[in-house]
Amino acid sequence: MNHLKDKVQSIQAAAHKPAILVIGDLMVDHYIWGNATRLSPEAPVPIVNVKNETTTLGGAGNVVQNLVSLGAKVIVAGVIGNDQAAGELIKILTDEGVETDTIIKDNDRPTTVKTRVVVGSHQLVRVDREVTDEVSEPIANELISKLNSHIDGADMVLLSDYNKGLFSPFLTQGIIKAANAKGKKVIIDPKGLNYEKYKGAFIIKPNRKELSEAAKTEKINSIESLQQAGKVIFEQTGTQYIVVTLSEEGMVILSEQDHTSLPVKATEVFDVTGAGDTVLATMAYFMAGGLSIEDSCELANHAAAIVIRRVGSATTTVDEIVEDILKSAAN
């Protein structure tokens, strides 16, 4: 394990910070925290007395925060509304030191906001404000032309698809072709059933459920069934690797000829919220720093182990990952 620690520390010591371009469905997670001691006389529902409200980044924003926490230079692109939530989203990103000039405001759609009303530790209701129709071609073209100069400066291009309408086949293919033409690797966190639109990606990173749905296979419960499902996706997309996250069982790296299993590093699992975003960010960060896909996934496993011990969408740092490597080597 020490060789891994040395490689990680050399990336930390390098003058060049890995530069990552994140394109994705950006959203706002809005929390209303309160007390509820009585039922409403109008309907059989609790009355919530609001004590506090907080706003954080959701969706692809969680990938961005993970990358910032690791120390990457991040540029973020996407389409949001022209509304108050858009202003909040841009402010949070700017405060994080992230470049936002490739985020386009579309007057025809709202910024996706998920509002959760939480009493004690209990979520009462979630209210979503969003439009998930595909972005229009003029907006897609505007985004692609804005991205061109940023792809040049990126070590890695990340697509974080939350199925909110950004990644139409037209836009997805436009981005992948532009990146490939400049020799930049594209890593995708996929959603939905149409993986054909990801043709030309370097890595696609589904979880087990997403893979079995996209490959239209029965339950994936063995390495053979995993490889069978992978075969379908390789045929559809021509991707080099499929990295499948298996929650408490770790992850598997599939190539057309081979597979590598990486058992999980977590000893206890508290909350898997956002762990997939941490895996995506960590893999991309270390690959952009020059590490192999196997080493990067091994490190992503350590990062996932750290964040799932924390409640809610969490992030980790390179120092914590090094500490986790040393701790598991000692056990």
Q: For the sheet containing 241-245, what is the strand order?
A: 99-105, 73-80, 19-24, 156-160, 186-189, 203-204, 241-245, 251-254, 259-262
Q: How many CB atoms lie within 10 A of CB 114?
A: 16
In sequence order, what DSSP letters do the residues of 153-186 get, joined into one string?
A: H-SEEEEE--SSSS--HHHHHHHHHHHHHTT--E
Q: Which of 101, 11, 63 is nearest to 187 (CA)?
A: 63
Contacts of 143 (CB under 8 A, 6+ apart): 23, 77, 79, 102, 104, 135, 171
- Closest CA relative to residue 313, chosen from 49, 45, 56: 56
Answer for the pair 102, 150: CB distance below 8 angstroms, yes or no: yes
Angle at 88 between CA 280 and CA 22, to 5 degrees: 25
Three-state SS at 66 = helix
Q: In this structure, what DSSP letter does residue 21 have?
A: E
Q: 146-160 burial, b for 16+ CB within 10 Å, e for fewer?
A: ebeebbeebbbbbbb
Give the count of alpha carbons within 13 A of 132, CB side only. Answer: 9
Q: Is 277 among the catalytic positions?
A: yes
Q: Are 11 and 42 in contact (CB under 8 A)?
A: no
- Which candidate in 277, 295, 319, 324 is catalytic? 277
Could you give the C-alpha distances from 254 to 28, 109, 180, 219, in angstroms and in order? 33, 38, 21, 17
Catalytic residues: 277
